[in-house]
Amino acid sequence: MPSEGDDLFGVGLGLNADITTAFSVELVQIINRTQPYQLNLQYRLNHELGMAALRISQTRAASLGNTASTFRTDFGAEDVELNRYNRLLLSTIAPMEVIPAIDLLAGHCVRLYQGDYEQSQVFDENPVEVAQRWAAAGATRLHLVDLDGAKAGQPENWQAIAAIAAAVNVPIEVGGGLRDRDRVAALFDLGVQYAILGTAAVEKPDLVSTLSAEFPGQIIVGIDARDGKVATRGWLETSAIEAIALAQDMAQRGAAAIIYTDINRDGTLKGPNLEALRAITEATTVPVIASGGVSSVTDLLSLLTLERLGVNGIIVGKALYTGDISLKEALRAVGPGRWQDVPTDIGPSFA
C-alpha cells in the first residue's frame, strides 16, 4: 500500500529513478541552492528515516517562519535542533563523498608527513594531469591545498589552480593563503566552487561571517588540529583555541561546512581519529568533512559510523598516491550504490 512517503517521493525509488512530484522538485531545488555538496539525486532515499526528519523539519521551520528555507542547516543558534534534523535528512539523500587531495608545493603535487614541510614527497610534477586522472576515475570533487600560500599568507600556486579549474568538470575546493575578501573573490572568478578559510577563521572570524553572507554555500572552514588545538599559518603555529569551540563559532557565522584535519594523522596512513571527529560533529550543526590518516577501505567504512552525525565527506590523499586505495574501490565502498544500502526491491533499509 502506498504511504505518505510514496506520495512525496514516488513509489519504489531506485538508484536510477526520477524524482517527479512537484514537492520533490521543490525539495531538490532547495537542497541544491543551500548545501555545499553536489548531490547525486538519483541516490535512493532512506524512506523511513528521511520522512521522519522531513516532517519534524517542516514543523519546526514553520514555527520559525522559515517555510521557504525548510532545509537549511545554517540556522545556527536560532534553532540547533532544526539544524540537526535537516542535516540528518540530507544524509539520507547524498552518499558519502570521497574527495581526492592535491597538495601543491612549488607547482608540484606533493604530500607532507604530519604537515612538516621538511618531510615532503613529490608524487607528480603535473598536478593538472593528476586532477584529470581523479576526475576520470569518478571523483565528484577535488580538494586543493596551496601549501606555499598557507605559509606565505597569500596564494602562490595560482597558475596551477587556474589550470586545474579549466581542465576538469567537477567542483573544486581550495585552501591555503586565503585571508581576505579579494583573494576569495578572485578564486571564484577562476571557476573554483569552494574557498577554504583556515588561518583567517582564527585571526579574522568576522571575515567568515561576511564572506558566508556574500557567497552563501561556498565558504568552508578548515580546522587543522594538533592535540585538540587549532594550528594556523600552514600548521607552523599552534593556537590556544580549541577545535570544537572554533567549529561551533564558525557554524554560527554561516560556514557551509567544516573540514577537520587531525595533523598527527595526516600523511601517516594510521587511520582517521574517529573520537575527535565524533566530538566535532556532535558539537556543531553543519556538515563535516574528515581529513587525515585514511589508509584503507576499512578506514573509509569506519567513517560511515559517523555519517548520521554529519560526516558526509572524506578527503583522501597519500593512500591514493601510494596505491593503498584505488578511487574506484573507495567509491564502491562508501559512494553511490554502496552495498550497505539495501535496494528498495529487496526491503527497507534502516542503516
Q: Would residue 103 show up in a list of annotated catalytic residues for this protein? A: yes
**Rounded-to-integer distance, Cα 52 and Cα 210, Å:** 34
- In the numeric block, the cell 573544486 is attached to 172
Among candidates 163, 193, 160, 197, which has minimal Cα distance to 178?
Answer: 197
**Rounded-to-integer distance, Cα 259 and Cα 2, Å:** 40
Q: Would residue 180 show up in a list of annotated catalytic residues for this protein? A: no
Catalytic, out of 224, 249, 266, 299: 224
Catalytic, out of 74, 79, 103, 249: 103
Residue positions annotated with a catalytic role: 103, 224
